[in-house]
Amino acid sequence: MKQLALVIDLNVCVGCHACVTSCKEWNTSGTAGYMADMNPYAKDPTGTFFNRVQTFEVGQFPATETVHFPKSCLHCEDPPCVPVCPTGASYKRESDGIVLVDSEKCIGCNYCSWACPYGARELDEHQKIMKKCTLCVDRIYDESLPENERKPACVMACPAEARIFGDISDPDSEVSSAIRESGGYQLMPEWGTKPANHYLPRRKASITIHEDELVRSDNPLKKEHQLPMPDDDDPTFDEITSW
């Protein structure tokens, strides 16, 4: 069964937040909008976002890793937010696995956000309804858009191409092959939610230098008569033994 998802490559994400605001920009004036901002020009501004980047440090100086971690609804295959919804507003589409909220049914009770182990759902404090990532469902099937633009806004925006979008149930898709080949993993699989979104871990490149690669026969110092050569009166075997 088709399951659309994002695969997020932490190996190349530089935490630039392009996905965060491009998401807000598309969705605030779209079918899922608006996304209200409280105190937009005052003390303690907050607002609704479908996607946020958390940055944290791992390890101790100097062996420190700085991790930029974008997080949005993971569109679980077994989403705990759906069965807890008293009105049926929270639902998972059979056709493509996207988890959505029907804003006309939502009563803002917050059960779904309490059930979500990932903290991916945010109550729009102004409308008092639950809002969340829709995988830009109003873009991805829109036939008035050129085919290569039928992608979530965050995927279109990401300068590092750290966000790959596709069907994880299709083994030949780009997302499936990325998960397979780059060690894609799910968040907290022990919860049994089977999140559709996956993350690709950091991968480190290194250069191995063998000592004997340092000097080659065409070393330019040779032309300057500068390759290390002992002085004529330095000790050699000749002074030490006669065999």
Subset of residues 34 to 93 that bind another protein, contact rule: CB under 8 A: 34, 36-47, 49, 55, 57, 59-62, 64-68, 88, 91
Nearer to another protein, 65 or 231 (CB): 65
Q: Which of 181, 212, 213, 238 binds another protein (CB under 8 A)?
A: 213
Q: Beta strand pairing status for 122-124 and 129-131?
A: antiparallel
Nearer to another protein, 190 or 218 (CB): 218
In this structure, the number of other CB atoms found within 10 A of the CB of residue 76 comes to 27
- As a whole number of angstroms, the distance between CA 167 and CA 2 comes to 6
We find the least distance from the C-beta atom of residue 84 to another protein, in angstroms, to be 18
Q: Write the binding mask 142 to 161 for another protein: x where contact by CB under 8 A, - elsewhere.
A: x-----xx---x--xxxxxx
We find the least distance from the C-beta atom of residue 192 to another protein, in angstroms, to be 26
Cβ atoms 133, 121 nearer than 8 A? no
Q: Which of 17, 71, 109, 117 binds another protein (CB under 8 A)?
A: 17
222 binds another protein (CB under 8 A): yes
174 binds another protein (CB under 8 A): no
Q: Beta strand pairing status for 37-38 and 65-72?
A: unpaired
Q: Where are the beta strands (DSSP E) in the chain?
A: 4-9, 37-38, 46-47, 51-58, 65-72, 90-92, 99-101, 122-124, 129-131, 163-167, 198-200
104 binds another protein (CB under 8 A): yes
In this structure, the number of other CB atoms found within 10 A of the CB of residue 176 comes to 19
Tell me the window of 114-122, 166-174, 218-226, 233-241 that interacts with another protein (CB under 8 A): 218-226
Rounded alpha-carbon distances, angstroms, from residue 183 to 84, 156, 175, 199: 32, 24, 12, 8
We find the least distance from the C-beta atom of residue 242 to another protein, in angstroms, to be 37
Q: Which of 223, 232, 237, 239 binds another protein (CB under 8 A)?
A: 223
Nearer to another protein, 49 or 118 (CB): 49
229 binds another protein (CB under 8 A): no
Pick from 12, 43, 47: which is nearest to 162 by CA?
Answer: 12
